[in-house]
Every structure is written in structure tokens, then in C-alpha cells.
């Protein structure tokens, strides 16, 4: 076991001391990490460690204390480790699976009512990442950071209204609040973390399950547009939601569905598609049991195989006739894509934007981030470059490079919040600080 000199101490004038501010924060909030009472020019490694279900991730940065024996991660450059340069959040976005663990995994919060708990350690000298857990390391100071997707004042309400299944997150206060319908992709289930974070930023956010959850359909082939239209109607008419229309945010398959709702429903005023293709994929979308939106099927002969996994980037054939005409109902559109998305060729997004009628082209904002992959998540979370897709039963390469992907996530989140505030009815404002 590593030798440890001091633990946690916020008041430790004569021994190395690790200070984190704030020690409890939302995941989209930057924090300050400083170390004091080191020797002048002492070499140290600062390590972060987090466990979420079976996923165990770690990161580290190499620092040299200043003449006063201090390290301020927001001011001093990391000289090595899992990231280099000056970045107060580098220890978070550069997290990666610990040695011996599968690289094909992802930190995804299954319970937003509990925080992600990050353990921080200051270790003497510059220690290689693979050696950080060896018993010979000397731990000088430790600390803990708790990072939440859900603000403590946000209320979570389990939704079982008719056939609808999901969770509604309401900000503090009496409302009404701007409403947002939130959906994720083709792995199914119910994903709540972004809806909880949106509520923490003042939106009444409905995380909608649509297959592979509770008593919902088991496959994408069984989806019916009526279910999604019911979800829009339910949220738009909710007493805690500001009248006048809602927004829809979707990732991957959820982004395709967001486009379909944007073209189908006047109540949808703002659409955010994150990494969803401009066509409908896998299986036709029904309406009242009959085929309504034709889907492009994957051409399995055009899958690309590598040691990392499978890339589906070239397995769909696009043309303008297959695009989802989201412009039909005049919803504002924010389209966020990664240039290195391994699931589809995001250059088609440019053709999609150009296919908008000239008089509606100002309705869409397209951003294609360089060196960025498919899974564009809230800021400061690590890149998931490859993972197992349980529905397709294959390991998919999502793509992206850690530093560029991190920058994209931070920018994307700011754009999403600004876009929703701009295009949705507003009345109530809340503080997002814990």
C-alpha cells in the first residue's frame, strides 16, 4: 500500500495540503485545485480517481511547485501524465480506464441522485500512470470532490402517464419553466444525466425512454411517432412548463427523432441534434401502426474493422431525398457534430444544411467540431472513443481525440444552453450553483 503522509487536510500549514474549491459542484462547473506547503520546485504528481458501477477511471498531471512551494493547476502547466498544458479541468477530461481495465468502457451515471465522487491525491515526484498504484509511491495529501448532475434543489418525478415512461426534472421555484424533451440513442433504456443537468440550469426537462425500458417496445422497429407526439403534448401542457412551445434535445438516434418532431409538431420551437444523422436509420418509424418515415438500413458489407472495433461511418448511403425535412414547421435548429465521428460521415451535415429552403436557411446553426467523436457529452467528462453497443452486439468506434473532444464538449454545452434560452419562452430564472 502506498505510504501516506497526510490526508484531506484543509488546515495543514507545515505539511503538504490539497485544497479544492468548490468541493461540491455541478459537473459543468470549473473548480480550483491547489497544493501548498511543498518544497520549492518540488516535483509532484496530482492524480484523480473515480469509480462508477464497474467503470474505474484515473488521470494524472505532472507539476513542479513554484518558489513558494505551491501548485495551482489553473496556472501551472502539467508537464506530462494524461494531459499536458494549463487547464484547471485537465484531470477530469483526461480520465481513462485504469491499467488492466477494458478501454472499451464509459463513465455514465445511472443514478443522478448521487454524485460522482473523485478522489484526488498528491504524490511525490513524477510517477508514470501505470505505476501510480504501486506501494512505493509516497502520497503527500488527499482530497475528495463531489460532482453532481442534479442540483440539490431539483425535483425528480418518475413519469408513468398513459404509455409515457421517463423522468421529469423540475428546477427550484414555482415556475413555470422553459420545457425540454431529452432523448438518447439506439442503446435504449432511460438516460437521465443530461435532463438532470438541464434542470439544474433552469429547464423543466423530461428524460424520455422510448425502447428497451420498463414496458416499452423492445426494438427500434416497434417505434411509433404517436408516442413521441404524446410526450410533446404532455410536456408542453404541464403546469410547470412555460406555455408557448418546448425544445427537444437528442443524441444520436435521439437526434434523428428530434428532427422528426421538429418537422411534425408546431409545439416544438427549438431542436438540438447532437451527433444524430440527418436521415432516419435502422428501421422505419411508424405512425398509428403504419410506416411513416422510411429508414435507411445499414449496409453491413461496408463496415470497417480495426483493433479498436467497428466503424459504421460508410455503411449508410445518403442523398438529399432521404434527409429528414426538419424545416417544415419553422423550428430553430442547432446541429452539433464531430468531424471524426466513427458512426456516420458528418460531412453530410453540410449537404443537409444546404438542402434547407433558402428562406429557412437562417433557422439552422451547424457546428462540426474538429478531431471530435460521436459522444459529445456535458463538459469535462472524458472521451469515450470506443465501447460495446448492446443492441448491435458489436464494439463501435465512436471516434475523437481527448483534448479536442473536451474543448468541443465545453463549447457545445454553452451553445446548447444559449440556444434553448434564446428560442424557448422564458419567465423564471434560477441559480445553478450548488
> Along the chain (434 residues), what's the average pLDDT of each consecutive run of 10 residues?
42 83 98 98 98 92 98 98 98 95 83 97 97 94 98 97 98 94 96 98 98 95 97 98 98 98 98 97 93 91 95 90 95 98 95 96 97 98 94 94 98 98 78 58
Give the catalytic positions in this structure.
252, 341, 374
Residues 6+ apart with CB under 8 A from 210: 183, 188, 216, 217, 223, 227, 228, 257
Burial class (CB in 10 A: 0-12, 13-18, 19+), 243: middle
Question: What CA dihedral angle connects 122, 124, 127 and 132, to 10 degrees?
Answer: -50
For residues 257 and 318, is the Cβ–Cβ distance under 8 A?
Answer: no
Res 11: pLDDT:
53
Find, among 154, 37, 50, 30, the residue nearest to 107 by Cα.
Answer: 50
Burial class (CB in 10 A: 0-12, 13-18, 19+), 279: buried
Cα 148 from Cα 29, distance rounded (Å): 10
DSSP 135-162: TT-EEEEEEEEEEESS-TT-EEEEEEET
Cα 33 from Cα 46, distance rounded (Å): 10
For residue 356, what is its C-alpha cell? Answer: 434547407
Res 7: pLDDT:
40
Res 433: pLDDT:
59
DSSP 236-289: HT-TTB-SS-EEEEEETHHHHHHHHHHHH-TTEEEEEEES--SS-BSSPEEETT
Question: What CA dihedral angle connects 387, 390, 392 and 395, to 10 degrees?
Answer: 20
Q: pLDDT tens digits for 189-210?
A: 999 999 999 999 999 999 999 9
Rg (CA), the chain: 23
Cα 43 from Cα 274, distance rounded (Å): 41
Find, among 64, 17, 19, 62, the residue nearest to 40 by Cα.
Answer: 64
Res 76: pLDDT:
98
Cα 132 from Cα 59, distance rounded (Å): 10
Residue 18 vs residues 68, 128, 260, 299: alpha-carbon distances, Å:
15, 21, 50, 53
Q: pLDDT tens digits for 97-146?
A: 999 888 778 888 889 999 999 999 999 999 999 999 999 999 999 999 99
396: number of Cβ within 10 Å: 22
Amino acid at each position: 500500500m502506498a505510504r501516506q503522509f497526510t490526508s484531506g487536510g484543509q488546515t495543514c500549514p507545515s505539511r503538504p495540503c490539497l485544497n479544492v474549491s468548490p468541493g461540491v459542484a455541478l459537473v459543468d462547473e470549473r473548480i480550483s485545485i491547489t497544493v501548498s506547503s511543498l518544497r520549492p520546485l518540488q516535483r509532484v504528481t496530482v492524480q484523480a480517481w473515480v469509480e462508477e458501477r464497474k467503470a474505474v477511471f484515473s488521470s494524472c498531471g505532472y507539476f513542479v511547485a513554484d518558489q513558494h512551494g505551491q501548485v495551482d493547476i489553473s496556472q501551472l502547466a502539467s508537464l506530462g501524465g494524461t494531459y499536458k498544458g494549463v487547464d484547471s479541468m485537465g484531470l477530469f477530461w483526461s480520465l481513462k480506464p485504469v491499467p488492466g481495465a477494458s478501454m472499451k468502457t464509459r463513465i455514465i451515471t445511472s443514478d443522478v441522485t448521487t454524485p460522482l465522487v473523485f478522489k484526488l491525491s498528491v504524490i511525490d515526484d513524477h510517477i508514470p500512470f501505470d505505476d501510480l498504484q504501486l506501494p512505493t509511491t509516497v502520497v503527500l495529501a488527499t482530497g475528495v470532490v463531489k460532482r453532481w448532475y442534479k442540483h440539490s434543489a431539483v425535483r425528480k418525478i418518475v413519469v408513468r402517464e398513459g404509455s409515457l415512461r421517463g423522468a421529469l426534472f423540475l428546477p427550484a421555484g414555482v415556475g413555470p419553466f422553459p420545457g425540454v424533451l431529452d432523448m438518447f440513442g439506439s442503446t435504449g433504456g432511460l438516460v437521465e444525466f443530461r435532463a438532470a443537468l438541464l434542470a439544474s440550469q433552469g429547464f423543466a426537462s423530461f428524460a424520455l425512454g422510448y425502447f428497451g425500458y420498463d414496458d416499452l417496445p423492445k426494438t427500434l422497429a416497434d417505434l411509433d411517432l404517436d408516442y413521441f407526439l404524446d410526450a410533446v403534448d404532455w410536456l408542453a401542457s404541464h403546469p410547470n412548463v412555460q406555455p408557448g412551445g418546448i425544445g427537444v434535445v437528442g443524441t444520436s438516434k435521439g437526434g434523428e427523432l428530434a428532427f422528426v418532431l421538429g418537422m411534425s409538431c408546431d409545439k416544438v420551437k427549438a431542436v438540438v441534434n447532437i451527433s444524430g444523422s440527418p436521415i432516419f436509420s435502422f428501421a422505419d418509424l411508424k405512425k398509428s401502426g403504419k410506416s411513416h418515415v422510411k429508414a435507411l438500413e445499414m449496409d453491413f458489407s461496408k463496415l470497417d474493422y480495426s483493433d479498436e472495433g467497428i466503424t459504421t461511418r460508410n455503411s449508410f448511403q445518403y442523398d438529399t431525398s432521404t434527409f429528414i425535412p426538419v424545416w417544415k414547421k419553422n423550428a430553430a435548429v442547432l446541429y452539433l457534430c464531430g468531424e471524426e465521428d466513427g458512426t456516420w460521415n458528418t460531412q453530410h451535415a453540410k449537404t443537409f444544411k444546404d438542402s434547407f429552403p433558402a428562406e429557412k436557411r437562417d433557422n439552422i446553426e451547424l457546428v462540426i467540431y474538429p478531431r471530435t467523436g460521436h459522444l459529445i457529452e456535458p463538459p469535462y467528462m472524458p472521451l469515450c472513443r470506443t465501447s460495446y453497443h448492446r443492441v448491435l452486439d458489436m464494439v463501435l468506434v465512436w471516434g475523437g481525440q481527448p483534448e479536442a473532444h473536451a474543448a468541443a464538449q465545453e463549447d457545445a454545452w454553452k451553445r446548447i444552453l444559449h440556444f434553448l434560452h434564446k428560442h424557448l419562452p422564458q419567465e423564471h430564472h434560477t441559480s445553478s450553483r450548488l
